[in-house]
Amino acid sequence: MTSQTLCQTYLGNMAHKTRLLNGGKNLVRNLVLGRSVSTSSKRKTTLLKQLLSSPQLAFLMEAHSGLSARIVEEAGFHGIWGSGLSISAQLGVRDSNEASWTQVLEVAEFMADATHIPILLDADTGFGNFNNARRLVRKLEDRGIAGCCIEDKCFPKTNSLLDGRQQPLADIQEFTLKIKACKDHQRDPDFCVVARVEAFIAGWGLQEALTRAEAYRNAGADAILIHSKKSDPSDIEAFMSQWGNKCPVMIVPTKYFKTPTEHFKELGISTVIWANHNLRASVSAMQNTCHQIMSEQSLVNIESKVASITEIFRLQQDHELRAAENLYLPKK
């Protein structure tokens, strides 16, 4: 067989493999999670917008890495909260804008690459003024992030749940124009910008919360996140009694966790964010594991309590790589 014939045969085989791949609707991509899945033809931004506006109570689960994001999707959640607290904590820094916005962006990109469901990124205060915030929106769109949530505090921010800390609010007009800048500069019409109202966190009353929420809604915010650190839902109840369903409302019940979820439905809440529990669960697991191994200097009593190496390989989608190698590496 001549070299020309060998080359033609090789190219023919490659063309056949390509047809098989395309005809099979991207076989390799559909090996996600170790099983066949049907991915939605809708953009992630559209999925998030529909989630926020759905008449049914929706839930976003916290993730802080590509791995945790994939676990959230496997659990059946339809959306992910890219928690600023959790992302900063897993980087080993405080939730005070010590991680740069590009570092947060890189983590968010890994999360988006690992999943098919939309991510709402906790974007703190937008990492600066209107100019920083509108640039962030463009970069999030580039990386497949479905939306961002921006809070009306001053940069650098302080975590809302810290005790005894001052929580100065941004000027209402300045923050309103920041929201408008984000909405004016998004390219995807379904990209969601959520305005987070911190009036209750900062010690202000109901009227301040309502005034700010109305201003942000008029500036184009797709939803309002009304935040409270009380151990009961009284702030949320007061706000919802006066809000009048003007636009979707999101909550973070980290502190009032004993409130029955059914009550959130009764109040007309759009979306509940379980904001930090994957991080906290992993910290507890790692602390317990480290302490036991340090104490016993052995793995005998710990191996059955942790995920298997095989499970880690599955979550990393090693099966996809093996399938791709069969398609794209020459056979010896």
Matching residue, tokens 């004993």? 258
Torsion sign (Cα): 37, 43, 46, 52: positive
DSSP string, 39-103: --SS-HHHHHHHHHH-SS-EEEEEE-SHHHHHHHHHHT-S-EEE-HHHHHHHTTS-TTT-S-HHH
CA 172 vs. chain centroid, Å, equals 26
The two structure tokens encoding residue 297: 């200097």
Q: What is the CA radius of gyration of the chain?
A: 23
Is the peptide bond prior to 168 cis by the omega test (within 30 degrees of 0)?
Answer: no
Give burial (CB, 10 Å; 0-12/13-18/19+) of 164.
exposed
169 within 8 A of 140, measured Cβ to Cβ: no
Helix or strand holding residue 228 (H, E): none
Q: Is the pTM of this model over 0.95?
A: no
**pLDDT score, position 40:** 64
213, 224 contact by CB (below 8 A)? yes
218 vs 324: CA distance, rounded Å: 49
* pLDDT (0 to 100) of residue 161: 78
pLDDT, residue 16, reads 42
Q: Is 59 exposed, middle or buried (0-12, 13-18, 19+ CB in 10 A)?
A: middle
| Tens-binned pLDDT, residue by residue, of the chain (332 aa) | 454 544 454 445 444 444 434 444 344 444 433 333 445 689 999 999 999 999 999 999 999 999 999 999 999 999 999 999 999 999 999 999 999 999 999 999 999 999 999 999 999 999 999 999 999 999 999 999 999 999 999 888 888 877 777 789 999 999 999 999 999 999 999 999 999 999 999 999 999 999 999 999 999 999 999 999 999 999 999 999 999 999 999 999 999 999 999 999 999 999 999 999 999 999 999 999 999 999 999 999 999 999 999 999 999 999 999 999 999 999 88
The residue among 70, 73, 127, 83 whose CA lies nearest residue 102 is: 127
- Spatial contact of 272 and 293, defined as CB atoms under 8 Å apart: no
Q: Distance between CA 83 and CA 200 in Å, rounded?
A: 20
Length of the chain as a residue count: 332
pLDDT at 167: 80
Per the structure block, which two tokens stand in for 217? 């809604």
CA distances from 322 to 125, 132, 331 (A): 42, 41, 13
Q: Are strands 58-63 and 271-274 parallel, antiparallel or unpaired?
A: parallel
CA pair distance 257, 10, nearest whole angstrom: 62
The Cα–Cα gap between 126 and 187 comes to 17
- Per-residue model confidence (pLDDT) at position 30: 45
Among all residues, which ones are annotated catalytic? 95
CA nearest to 67, candidates 276, 317, 310:
317
